[in-house]
């Protein structure tokens, strides 16, 4: 609707944030039912013709009371299935972050076998998450074939998860003190087969999509996020590294046994455009899959023998206190602030969502671009609304 069709000189039309709309501007809604918003996200766009003047994200359509549900549980382990449903494309990473918080609160040291299996599962999950993100991103800008190829390869990772714990999306696998199941006998062999199969496919994806001229024109020099703005907004993960900031919690604040492996942290370099543009964020995820393969290949050969449940407490009743633990999910820093009052259930559990924080920078990187570019920009942020809304 044109802005001046309902407003007058005395009562000008305003956006939801109170911003006055000029006569030549319009307010459009993208979402919440829109395929390019990757979930129930509503973007309130202020446009001047095809140029985006401002973007106001509206969230909350998928709010499931995660924190209050967790505080109502009678046991700390019962929270883990709710963690699965935060970033449901990276459930292993969500479970691990919460388990780390519980283990820090209880002072538990998990067996070395558990540490190795957790790293392998987390990196397989990172690849699976990036494959979905990159495949749907290509679909957003008009490339259909890479989407099919990436989902084909993602299925092979889900097969590994299914043979381990019986689930393909929500796993309830990483527990406080250990794991719900040990890996099956042929898991190591099949994981090695996957690594050998998948590594050449990354080149195929690059040939199909990454260096496709049309894809580059749609993503290079679009949605530029300068490093200082990314840091000011507390962005993390590929969103931050795409702006050239070499920060990864697995390297800079190691947890688990990540310090035992050799691997690199990819960052945006402005290879085909400007540092911090949509293409750089895409490319960081593509190169992170290679690094995840490097970690998996090192870890899979070193898994020691042992029991994965020997440190799982039968009764969890930590002393009163609080902890904050963070880890590197596929979307950035997932943090849990866990408070105990000495009873058998959490007194308070606060989740720090990387996708929520990354989404907050959208207005900064959307202004001045075309409406069609908003699709590419939002896709490059890689949000999961289950984690954003919680």
pLDDT at site 15:
73
At 288-343, the pLDDT tens digits run 999 999 999 999 999 999 999 988 888 889 899 999 999 999 999 999 999 999 88
Q: Which of 216, 232, 225, 217 is nearest to 366 (CA)?
A: 225
pLDDT grade, residue 284 (50/70/90)?
Answer: very high
List C-alpha distances in Å: 51 to 55, 279, 331.
Answer: 11, 21, 29
List C-alpha distances in Å: 165 to 21, 128, 309.
Answer: 54, 16, 14
pLDDT at site 6:
44
* Residue 3 clears pLDDT 60, i.e. is over it: no
Burial class (CB in 10 A: 0-12, 13-18, 19+), 27: buried
Dist CA 163 CA 145 (whole Å): 28
> CA Rg, the chain, in Å?
22
**Of the ranges 22-31, 62-71, 115-124, 357-366, which one carries the lowest mean pLDDT score?**
22-31
At 116-148, the pLDDT tens digits run 999 999 999 999 999 999 999 999 888 899 999
Dist CA 70 CA 85 (whole Å): 12
* Residue 13 clears pLDDT 90, i.e. is over it: no
Domains of the chain with bracketed CATH? 3-58 (no CATH), 77-389 (1.10.645.10)
pLDDT at site 280:
95
Residue with tokens 């994981």: 191
User: Alpha carbon 171 to chain centroid distance?
Assistant: 17
pLDDT at site 12:
64
Residue 200: how many CB atoms within 10 A of its CB?
A: 8
Task: Enumerate residues 6+ apart whose C-beta is below 8 A from 276.
Answer: 224, 225, 226, 227, 230, 242, 243, 244, 268, 270
At 331-374, the pLDDT tens digits run 999 999 999 998 888 999 999 999 999 999 999 999 999 999 99
**Of the ranges 4-13, 74-83, 360-369, which one carries the lowest mean pLDDT score?**
4-13
User: Which residues in 112-141 are b (16+ Cβ under 10 Å) and which e?
Assistant: ebbbbbbbbbbbbbbbbbbbbbbbbbbbbb
Q: Which two tokens stand for residue 300?
A: 């899979």
Dist CA 276 CA 174 (whole Å): 34
User: Alpha carbon 111 to chain centroid distance?
Assistant: 27
Whole-prediction pTM: 0.91
The maximal CA–CA distance of the chain, rounded, in angstroms, is: 76
Burial class (CB in 10 A: 0-12, 13-18, 19+), 182: middle
For the chain, how far is it from start to end, CA to CA, in angstroms?
32
- CA torsion 255-256-262-267 (nearest 10°) is -40
Average pLDDT, the chain: 90
pLDDT at site 262:
93
pLDDT at site 32:
82
């Amino acid at each position: 609707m044109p802005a001046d069709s309902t407003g007058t000189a005395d009562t000008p039309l305003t956006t939801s944030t109170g911003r006055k709309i000029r006569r030549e501007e319009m307010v459009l809604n993208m979402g919440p039912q829109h395929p390019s918003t990757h979930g129930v996200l509503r973007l309130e766009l202020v446009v001047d013709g095809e140029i985006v003047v401002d973007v106001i994200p509206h969230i909350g359509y998928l709010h499931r009371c995660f924190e209050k549900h967790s505080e109502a549980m009678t046991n700390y382990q019962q929270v883990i299935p709710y963690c699965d449903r935060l970033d449901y494309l990276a459930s292993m990473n969500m479970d691990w972050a919460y388990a780390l918080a519980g283990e820090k609160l209880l002072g538990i040291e998990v067996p070395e076998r558990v540490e190795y299996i957790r790293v392998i599962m987390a990196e397989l999950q990172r690849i699976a998450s990036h494959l979905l993100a990159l495949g749907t991103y290509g679909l957003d800008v008009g490339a259909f074939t890479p989407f099919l190829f990436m989902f084909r390869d993602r299925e092979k990772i889900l097969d590994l998860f299914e043979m381990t714990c019986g689930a393909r999306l929500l796993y309830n696998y990483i527990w406080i003190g250990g794991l719900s199941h040990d890996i099956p006998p042929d898991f190591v062999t099949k994981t090695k087969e996957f690594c050998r199969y998948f590594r050449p496919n990354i080149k195929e994806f690059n040939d199909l999509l990454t260096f496709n001229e049309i894809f580059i024109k749609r993503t290079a020099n679009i949605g530029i996020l300068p490093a200082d703005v990314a840091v000011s907004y507390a962005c993390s993960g590929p969103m931050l590294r795409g702006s050239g900031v070499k920060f990864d919690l697995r390297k800079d604040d190691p947890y688990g046994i990540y310090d035992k492996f050799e691997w690199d942290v990819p960052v945006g370099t402005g290879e085909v455009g400007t540092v911090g543009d949509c293409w750089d964020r895409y490319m960081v995820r593509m190169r992170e899959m290679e690094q995840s393969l490097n970690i998996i290949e090192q870890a899979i050969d070193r898994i020691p023998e042992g029991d994965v449940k020997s440190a799982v407490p039968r009764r969890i009743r930590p002393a009163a206190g609080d902890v904050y633990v963070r880890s590197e999910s596929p979307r950035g820093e997932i943090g849990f602030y866990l408070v105990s009052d000495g009873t058998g259930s959490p007194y308070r559990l606060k989740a720090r969502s990387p996708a929520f924080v990354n989404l907050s920078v959208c207005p900064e990187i959307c202004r001045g671009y075309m409406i069609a570019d908003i699709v590419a920009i939002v896709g490059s942020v890689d949000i999961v609304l289950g984690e954003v809304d919680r």
